[in-house]
Amino acid sequence: MEHILDVNPDNLNSWLRSFDRFIRLDSNQYAYDKYASAEGIVACGIERAITIEDFSDKSSVSSLKNFFDENKGQWIFGHMSFEAKDLFDITKTNASSFIDVPCVSFFVPTHVFKLLNDKLIILKSNLPVIELQNQLDQSLTAAQPIIKTKGILNFGVDRSQYIEHVNELLQHIHRGDIYEVNYCQALQYKGMVMDPYALYTKMQSTSQAPFGAFYRNGDVYLCSASPERFMAKRGDQLICQPIKGTNRRLDNPEENIVQQAKLKSSLKERAENVMIVDLMRNDMSRICLPGSVHVEELYGIYAFRHVNQMISTISGTVDQDINFVDVISALFPMGSMTGAPKLSALALIDELEPYQRGLFSGTVGYIDPNGNWDFNVVIRSIVYDDAHQLASISAGGAITALSDAAEEYEESLLKMESLVGIINGE
Protein backbone atom coordinates (compact mmCIF):
# COMPACT_ATOMS: atom_id res chain seq x y z
CA MET A 1 0.00 0.00 0.00
CA GLU A 2 1.36 3.41 -1.02
CA HIS A 3 1.45 6.14 1.61
CA ILE A 4 0.93 9.61 0.16
CA LEU A 5 1.71 12.96 1.77
CA ASP A 6 0.30 16.36 0.84
CA VAL A 7 3.10 18.83 0.31
CA ASN A 8 3.44 22.50 -0.47
CA PRO A 9 6.65 23.21 -2.47
CA ASP A 10 7.68 25.89 0.03
CA ASN A 11 7.19 23.50 2.94
CA LEU A 12 9.25 20.84 1.17
CA ASN A 13 12.14 23.28 0.67
CA SER A 14 11.92 24.38 4.28
CA TRP A 15 11.97 20.78 5.50
CA LEU A 16 15.00 19.96 3.35
CA ARG A 17 16.93 22.80 4.98
CA SER A 18 17.32 20.60 8.06
CA PHE A 19 19.38 17.99 6.15
CA ASP A 20 23.10 18.27 5.38
CA ARG A 21 22.68 15.84 2.49
CA PHE A 22 19.74 15.72 0.12
CA ILE A 23 18.95 15.48 -3.55
CA ARG A 24 15.90 16.36 -5.60
CA LEU A 25 15.71 15.17 -9.20
CA ASP A 26 13.03 16.58 -11.54
CA SER A 27 12.08 15.15 -14.93
CA ASN A 28 9.09 17.45 -15.61
CA GLN A 29 7.35 14.63 -17.51
CA TYR A 30 8.62 15.15 -21.05
CA ALA A 31 6.57 12.89 -23.32
CA TYR A 32 9.56 11.95 -25.49
CA ASP A 33 11.46 10.38 -22.57
CA LYS A 34 10.33 6.78 -22.49
CA TYR A 35 12.99 5.99 -19.88
CA ALA A 36 11.80 8.47 -17.22
CA SER A 37 10.65 6.68 -14.07
CA ALA A 38 8.98 9.54 -12.17
CA GLU A 39 8.15 13.22 -12.32
CA GLY A 40 10.55 13.74 -9.45
CA ILE A 41 12.45 11.92 -6.72
CA VAL A 42 13.54 13.38 -3.38
CA ALA A 43 16.03 11.71 -1.03
CA CYS A 44 17.42 13.04 2.25
CA GLY A 45 19.20 11.95 5.40
CA ILE A 46 22.06 9.47 5.60
CA GLU A 47 22.05 5.84 6.71
CA ARG A 48 25.38 4.96 5.10
CA ALA A 49 27.72 6.87 2.83
CA ILE A 50 31.02 6.80 1.02
CA THR A 51 33.03 9.87 0.13
CA ILE A 52 36.27 10.06 -1.83
CA GLU A 53 38.00 13.41 -1.42
CA ASP A 54 41.26 12.74 -3.28
CA PHE A 55 40.96 11.95 -6.98
CA SER A 56 44.55 10.66 -6.99
CA ASP A 57 43.65 7.86 -4.55
CA LYS A 58 43.32 4.94 -6.97
CA SER A 59 42.88 2.43 -4.13
CA SER A 60 39.50 3.98 -3.30
CA VAL A 61 37.94 2.47 -6.44
CA SER A 62 37.73 -0.95 -4.80
CA SER A 63 36.08 0.63 -1.73
CA LEU A 64 33.54 2.31 -3.99
CA LYS A 65 32.79 -0.95 -5.74
CA ASN A 66 32.35 -2.69 -2.39
CA PHE A 67 29.95 0.03 -1.26
CA PHE A 68 27.62 -0.68 -4.19
CA ASP A 69 27.88 -4.44 -3.66
CA GLU A 70 27.17 -4.16 0.07
CA ASN A 71 24.17 -1.90 -0.50
CA LYS A 72 22.58 -3.82 -3.36
CA GLY A 73 18.81 -3.61 -3.06
CA GLN A 74 18.96 -0.14 -1.46
CA TRP A 75 18.29 3.32 -2.83
CA ILE A 76 21.64 5.03 -3.50
CA PHE A 77 22.09 8.67 -4.54
CA GLY A 78 25.11 10.81 -5.19
CA HIS A 79 27.57 12.39 -7.57
CA MET A 80 30.84 12.03 -9.40
CA SER A 81 32.81 15.17 -10.15
CA PHE A 82 34.54 15.53 -13.50
CA GLU A 83 37.92 14.88 -11.87
CA ALA A 84 36.76 11.41 -10.80
CA LYS A 85 38.16 10.39 -14.18
CA ASP A 86 41.58 10.33 -12.49
CA LEU A 87 40.47 7.41 -10.30
CA PHE A 88 40.31 5.24 -13.40
CA ASP A 89 43.78 6.19 -14.69
CA ILE A 90 42.30 8.10 -17.60
CA THR A 91 44.31 11.33 -17.31
CA LYS A 92 45.83 13.42 -14.53
CA THR A 93 44.32 16.68 -13.31
CA ASN A 94 46.79 19.40 -12.35
CA ALA A 95 44.47 22.44 -12.25
CA SER A 96 43.45 24.14 -9.03
CA SER A 97 39.88 24.10 -7.72
CA PHE A 98 37.62 27.11 -7.23
CA ILE A 99 34.93 25.35 -5.20
CA ASP A 100 36.08 22.29 -3.29
CA VAL A 101 33.72 19.34 -3.61
CA PRO A 102 34.35 15.64 -2.96
CA CYS A 103 35.60 13.74 -5.98
CA VAL A 104 32.90 11.10 -5.40
CA SER A 105 30.09 10.95 -2.86
CA PHE A 106 27.20 8.47 -2.59
CA PHE A 107 24.75 7.83 0.22
CA VAL A 108 21.96 5.47 1.23
CA PRO A 109 19.24 7.91 2.35
CA THR A 110 16.93 7.76 5.33
CA HIS A 111 13.94 9.03 3.34
CA VAL A 112 13.02 8.58 -0.34
CA PHE A 113 9.92 10.03 -1.98
CA LYS A 114 8.43 10.10 -5.43
CA LEU A 115 7.27 13.65 -6.19
CA LEU A 116 4.04 14.01 -8.15
CA ASN A 117 2.62 17.53 -8.40
CA ASP A 118 1.71 18.43 -4.78
CA LYS A 119 2.00 14.87 -3.48
CA LEU A 120 4.89 12.90 -2.01
CA ILE A 121 4.67 9.13 -2.37
CA ILE A 122 6.73 7.48 0.36
CA LEU A 123 9.20 4.97 -1.07
CA LYS A 124 11.29 4.69 2.08
CA SER A 125 11.26 6.30 5.54
CA ASN A 126 11.99 5.43 9.14
CA LEU A 127 9.22 7.74 10.39
CA PRO A 128 5.48 7.08 10.68
CA VAL A 129 3.33 8.70 8.00
CA ILE A 130 1.65 11.03 10.50
CA GLU A 131 5.01 12.23 11.82
CA LEU A 132 6.28 12.96 8.31
CA GLN A 133 3.10 14.86 7.43
CA ASN A 134 3.37 16.90 10.63
CA GLN A 135 7.01 17.76 9.94
CA LEU A 136 6.17 18.92 6.41
CA ASP A 137 3.15 20.93 7.56
CA GLN A 138 5.16 22.68 10.26
CA SER A 139 8.18 23.37 8.03
CA LEU A 140 7.73 26.82 6.57
CA THR A 141 10.27 29.62 6.63
CA ALA A 142 9.81 33.15 5.38
CA ALA A 143 10.46 33.64 1.67
CA GLN A 144 14.07 34.56 0.97
CA PRO A 145 15.49 36.63 -1.91
CA ILE A 146 17.59 34.57 -4.34
CA ILE A 147 20.55 36.92 -4.13
CA LYS A 148 21.38 38.71 -0.89
CA THR A 149 24.88 39.87 -1.83
CA LYS A 150 25.85 39.59 -5.49
CA GLY A 151 29.56 39.15 -5.07
CA ILE A 152 32.47 40.05 -7.33
CA LEU A 153 32.60 38.44 -10.76
CA ASN A 154 35.81 37.02 -12.20
CA PHE A 155 36.21 35.30 -15.56
CA GLY A 156 38.07 32.03 -15.12
CA VAL A 157 39.34 32.58 -18.66
CA ASP A 158 39.21 36.01 -20.29
CA ARG A 159 38.24 36.48 -23.94
CA SER A 160 41.77 36.70 -25.33
CA GLN A 161 42.91 33.61 -23.42
CA TYR A 162 39.80 31.70 -24.49
CA ILE A 163 40.42 32.51 -28.16
CA GLU A 164 44.11 31.62 -27.80
CA HIS A 165 43.22 28.23 -26.29
CA VAL A 166 40.58 27.44 -28.92
CA ASN A 167 42.98 28.33 -31.73
CA GLU A 168 45.55 26.02 -30.14
CA LEU A 169 42.93 23.25 -30.05
CA LEU A 170 42.12 23.92 -33.70
CA GLN A 171 45.78 23.38 -34.55
CA HIS A 172 45.59 19.95 -32.89
CA ILE A 173 42.45 19.19 -34.90
CA HIS A 174 44.05 20.22 -38.17
CA ARG A 175 47.08 18.03 -37.38
CA GLY A 176 44.75 15.09 -36.76
CA ASP A 177 45.53 14.74 -33.04
CA ILE A 178 41.83 15.04 -32.20
CA TYR A 179 38.55 15.47 -34.10
CA GLU A 180 36.56 17.27 -31.44
CA VAL A 181 37.09 18.58 -27.92
CA ASN A 182 34.79 20.17 -25.36
CA TYR A 183 36.46 23.28 -23.97
CA CYS A 184 34.89 24.90 -20.88
CA GLN A 185 35.08 28.23 -19.14
CA ALA A 186 33.59 29.48 -15.88
CA LEU A 187 32.21 32.66 -14.38
CA GLN A 188 33.36 32.78 -10.76
CA TYR A 189 31.80 34.89 -8.01
CA LYS A 190 33.42 35.70 -4.68
CA GLY A 191 31.54 37.19 -1.74
CA MET A 192 28.26 35.75 -3.04
CA VAL A 193 25.42 35.30 -0.55
CA MET A 194 22.38 33.55 -2.00
CA ASP A 195 19.52 31.28 -1.04
CA PRO A 196 19.98 28.10 -3.11
CA TYR A 197 16.45 26.90 -2.28
CA ALA A 198 14.92 30.01 -3.81
CA LEU A 199 17.39 29.77 -6.69
CA TYR A 200 16.38 26.22 -7.62
CA THR A 201 12.69 27.08 -7.37
CA LYS A 202 13.28 29.89 -9.88
CA MET A 203 15.33 27.66 -12.20
CA GLN A 204 12.77 24.87 -12.04
CA SER A 205 9.87 27.20 -12.90
CA THR A 206 11.63 28.94 -15.79
CA SER A 207 13.46 26.04 -17.45
CA GLN A 208 11.43 22.90 -16.65
CA ALA A 209 14.48 20.83 -17.58
CA PRO A 210 14.14 17.05 -17.98
CA PHE A 211 17.14 16.31 -15.75
CA GLY A 212 16.93 19.08 -13.18
CA ALA A 213 18.77 18.51 -9.92
CA PHE A 214 18.92 20.25 -6.55
CA TYR A 215 21.68 18.68 -4.47
CA ARG A 216 23.30 19.51 -1.16
CA ASN A 217 26.55 17.97 0.01
CA GLY A 218 27.54 19.73 3.22
CA ASP A 219 28.13 23.41 2.44
CA VAL A 220 28.06 22.93 -1.34
CA TYR A 221 24.84 23.18 -3.35
CA LEU A 222 24.17 22.26 -6.95
CA CYS A 223 21.23 23.91 -8.73
CA SER A 224 21.00 22.34 -12.18
CA ALA A 225 18.63 22.74 -15.12
CA SER A 226 20.28 20.01 -17.15
CA PRO A 227 18.60 18.82 -20.36
CA GLU A 228 20.92 15.83 -20.78
CA ARG A 229 20.90 12.24 -19.59
CA PHE A 230 24.33 10.67 -19.19
CA MET A 231 23.18 7.10 -18.77
CA ALA A 232 20.26 5.05 -17.56
CA LYS A 233 19.89 1.35 -16.86
CA ARG A 234 16.58 -0.44 -17.17
CA GLY A 235 16.88 -4.16 -16.46
CA ASP A 236 19.67 -5.39 -18.73
CA GLN A 237 19.50 -2.37 -21.06
CA LEU A 238 22.04 0.44 -20.77
CA ILE A 239 21.06 3.71 -22.44
CA CYS A 240 23.12 6.83 -23.22
CA GLN A 241 21.66 10.00 -24.76
CA PRO A 242 24.34 12.56 -25.67
CA ILE A 243 23.29 16.05 -26.71
CA LYS A 244 25.24 17.88 -29.37
CA GLY A 245 23.42 20.58 -31.28
CA THR A 246 21.35 23.45 -29.93
CA ASN A 247 19.45 26.46 -31.23
CA ARG A 248 16.90 28.82 -29.74
CA ARG A 249 13.28 27.68 -29.62
CA LEU A 250 10.93 30.15 -31.30
CA ASP A 251 7.56 31.04 -29.79
CA ASN A 252 5.67 30.60 -33.05
CA PRO A 253 5.15 26.82 -33.58
CA GLU A 254 5.37 27.02 -37.37
CA GLU A 255 8.52 29.12 -37.24
CA ASN A 256 10.04 26.71 -34.74
CA ILE A 257 9.47 23.79 -37.12
CA VAL A 258 11.69 25.64 -39.61
CA GLN A 259 14.16 26.36 -36.79
CA GLN A 260 14.31 22.66 -35.91
CA ALA A 261 14.87 21.75 -39.56
CA LYS A 262 17.82 24.16 -39.65
CA LEU A 263 19.30 22.44 -36.60
CA LYS A 264 18.86 18.97 -38.06
CA SER A 265 20.44 19.95 -41.39
CA SER A 266 23.42 21.79 -39.86
CA LEU A 267 26.60 20.04 -41.00
CA LYS A 268 28.53 21.36 -37.99
CA GLU A 269 25.95 20.14 -35.46
CA ARG A 270 25.57 16.76 -37.16
CA ALA A 271 29.35 16.30 -37.27
CA GLU A 272 29.64 17.09 -33.55
CA ASN A 273 26.78 14.74 -32.72
CA VAL A 274 27.88 11.73 -34.74
CA MET A 275 31.46 11.91 -33.46
CA ILE A 276 30.22 11.69 -29.88
CA VAL A 277 27.81 8.90 -30.80
CA ASP A 278 30.70 6.89 -32.24
CA LEU A 279 32.78 7.57 -29.13
CA MET A 280 30.02 6.42 -26.80
CA ARG A 281 29.29 3.34 -28.90
CA ASN A 282 32.94 2.42 -28.49
CA ASP A 283 32.84 3.05 -24.71
CA MET A 284 29.64 1.02 -24.30
CA SER A 285 31.07 -1.89 -26.27
CA ARG A 286 33.61 -2.37 -23.48
CA ILE A 287 30.94 -3.50 -21.02
CA CYS A 288 27.94 -4.49 -23.17
CA LEU A 289 27.40 -7.93 -24.69
CA PRO A 290 29.10 -8.32 -28.09
CA GLY A 291 26.92 -7.10 -30.93
CA SER A 292 24.28 -5.59 -28.63
CA VAL A 293 25.26 -1.90 -28.90
CA HIS A 294 23.19 -0.02 -31.45
CA VAL A 295 21.96 3.51 -32.20
CA GLU A 296 18.25 3.72 -31.48
CA GLU A 297 18.00 7.26 -32.85
CA LEU A 298 20.49 9.54 -34.60
CA TYR A 299 19.99 13.33 -34.79
CA GLY A 300 16.67 13.37 -32.92
CA ILE A 301 15.35 16.94 -32.58
CA TYR A 302 13.39 17.84 -29.45
CA ALA A 303 11.90 21.10 -28.19
CA PHE A 304 12.45 22.24 -24.60
CA ARG A 305 11.26 25.36 -22.82
CA HIS A 306 13.78 27.72 -24.42
CA VAL A 307 15.87 25.65 -26.86
CA ASN A 308 15.76 22.91 -29.46
CA GLN A 309 18.27 20.11 -28.93
CA MET A 310 19.79 17.40 -31.11
CA ILE A 311 19.79 14.17 -29.10
CA SER A 312 20.96 10.72 -30.15
CA THR A 313 20.17 7.53 -28.26
CA ILE A 314 22.50 4.53 -27.98
CA SER A 315 21.64 1.33 -26.12
CA GLY A 316 23.25 -2.00 -25.34
CA THR A 317 22.75 -5.10 -23.23
CA VAL A 318 24.65 -5.64 -19.98
CA ASP A 319 24.60 -8.20 -17.20
CA GLN A 320 21.57 -7.19 -15.15
CA ASP A 321 23.63 -7.37 -11.93
CA ILE A 322 26.63 -5.44 -13.27
CA ASN A 323 28.33 -3.23 -10.69
CA PHE A 324 27.87 0.50 -11.23
CA VAL A 325 31.63 1.07 -10.95
CA ASP A 326 32.34 -1.31 -13.85
CA VAL A 327 30.02 0.74 -16.04
CA ILE A 328 31.24 4.14 -14.89
CA SER A 329 34.87 3.14 -15.43
CA ALA A 330 34.07 2.42 -19.09
CA LEU A 331 31.85 5.44 -19.81
CA PHE A 332 33.04 8.29 -17.59
CA PRO A 333 33.53 11.11 -18.30
CA MET A 334 30.69 11.28 -20.81
CA GLY A 335 31.62 11.81 -24.45
CA SER A 336 29.58 14.98 -24.85
CA MET A 337 31.80 16.79 -22.30
CA THR A 338 35.16 15.43 -23.46
CA GLY A 339 35.80 14.84 -27.17
CA ALA A 340 37.19 12.36 -29.64
CA PRO A 341 39.44 10.49 -29.32
CA LYS A 342 38.56 10.75 -25.64
CA LEU A 343 42.01 10.27 -24.09
CA SER A 344 43.66 12.79 -26.39
CA ALA A 345 40.87 15.30 -25.80
CA LEU A 346 41.10 14.86 -22.02
CA ALA A 347 44.85 15.41 -22.09
CA LEU A 348 44.32 18.76 -23.82
CA ILE A 349 41.52 19.69 -21.40
CA ASP A 350 43.88 19.02 -18.49
CA GLU A 351 46.57 21.08 -20.18
CA LEU A 352 44.52 24.15 -21.12
CA GLU A 353 41.62 24.58 -18.69
CA PRO A 354 42.95 26.55 -15.68
CA TYR A 355 40.42 25.30 -13.10
CA GLN A 356 39.01 21.94 -12.13
CA ARG A 357 35.48 21.49 -13.44
CA GLY A 358 34.27 19.94 -10.20
CA LEU A 359 30.57 19.13 -10.27
CA PHE A 360 30.20 20.77 -13.68
CA SER A 361 30.28 18.12 -16.43
CA GLY A 362 30.21 15.49 -13.72
CA THR A 363 27.05 13.55 -12.94
CA VAL A 364 24.39 13.22 -10.24
CA GLY A 365 21.67 10.60 -10.01
CA TYR A 366 20.38 7.48 -8.29
CA ILE A 367 20.34 3.69 -8.24
CA ASP A 368 17.06 2.07 -7.20
CA PRO A 369 16.55 -1.19 -5.23
CA ASN A 370 16.05 -3.15 -8.47
CA GLY A 371 19.46 -2.13 -9.80
CA ASN A 372 18.10 0.38 -12.30
CA TRP A 373 19.65 3.82 -12.41
CA ASP A 374 19.52 7.26 -14.00
CA PHE A 375 22.31 9.86 -14.08
CA ASN A 376 22.42 13.26 -15.73
CA VAL A 377 25.15 15.43 -17.21
CA VAL A 378 25.75 18.42 -14.93
CA ILE A 379 25.42 21.38 -17.28
CA ARG A 380 23.40 24.63 -17.15
CA SER A 381 24.06 24.78 -13.46
CA ILE A 382 25.09 27.01 -10.60
CA VAL A 383 27.38 25.57 -7.93
CA TYR A 384 27.34 27.45 -4.63
CA ASP A 385 29.63 27.12 -1.60
CA ASP A 386 27.69 28.64 1.28
CA ALA A 387 30.56 28.50 3.79
CA HIS A 388 33.02 30.36 1.57
CA GLN A 389 30.47 32.50 -0.32
CA LEU A 390 31.58 31.28 -3.73
CA ALA A 391 29.45 30.60 -6.81
CA SER A 392 30.33 29.29 -10.25
CA ILE A 393 28.56 29.10 -13.61
CA SER A 394 30.29 27.10 -16.34
CA ALA A 395 29.68 26.36 -19.99
CA GLY A 396 31.39 24.18 -22.57
CA GLY A 397 31.46 24.16 -26.33
CA ALA A 398 32.39 21.49 -28.86
CA ILE A 399 35.41 22.59 -30.86
CA THR A 400 35.67 21.02 -34.33
CA ALA A 401 37.42 21.86 -37.58
CA LEU A 402 34.44 24.08 -38.48
CA SER A 403 34.70 26.17 -35.29
CA ASP A 404 35.55 29.86 -35.14
CA ALA A 405 37.22 30.85 -31.85
CA ALA A 406 35.45 34.20 -31.46
CA GLU A 407 32.06 32.67 -32.26
CA GLU A 408 32.65 29.86 -29.78
CA TYR A 409 33.38 32.41 -27.07
CA GLU A 410 30.13 34.27 -27.72
CA GLU A 411 28.21 30.98 -27.80
CA SER A 412 29.63 29.97 -24.41
CA LEU A 413 28.45 33.27 -22.91
CA LEU A 414 25.02 32.72 -24.47
CA LYS A 415 24.76 29.34 -22.74
CA MET A 416 25.31 31.05 -19.39
CA GLU A 417 23.06 34.01 -20.13
CA SER A 418 19.89 32.81 -18.40
CA LEU A 419 21.75 31.80 -15.22
CA VAL A 420 23.61 35.09 -15.12
CA GLY A 421 20.26 36.80 -15.57
CA ILE A 422 18.94 35.11 -12.40
CA ILE A 423 21.97 36.30 -10.43
CA ASN A 424 21.45 39.80 -11.85
CA GLY A 425 17.83 39.73 -10.72
CA GLU A 426 16.34 39.59 -14.20
- How far is C-alpha 50 from the geometric centre of its chain's CA atoms? 20
348-364 burial by CB neighbour count: b if 16+ within 10 A, else e?
Answer: bbbebbebbbbbbbbbb
Query: Which letter does DSSP use for residue 118 in this model?
Result: T
3-state secondary structure 330-378: HHCCCHHHCEECHHHHHHHHHHHCCECCCCCCCEEEEECCCCCEEEECC
Catalytic-role residue among 228, 269, 272, 353? 228
Query: Which letter does DSSP use for residue 20 in this model?
Result: S
Please name the residues in contact with 268: beta carbons below 8 A apart, sequence gap of 6 or more.
400, 402, 403
Catalytic-role residue among 83, 180, 233, 244? 244
Q: What angle do CA 252, 226, 63 make, to 5 degrees?
A: 165
380: alpha, beta or left, given left = phi > 0 and alpha = psi -120 to 50? left
> Is position 244 annotated as part of the catalytic site?
yes
3-state secondary structure 386-426: CCCCEEEEEEEEEECCCCCHHHHHHHHHHHHHHHHHHHCCC
> Is position 228 annotated as part of the catalytic site?
yes
Tell me the HSE value of 175 on the side-chain side, using a 13 A CA sphere: 8
Q: Which residues are catalytic?
A: 228, 244
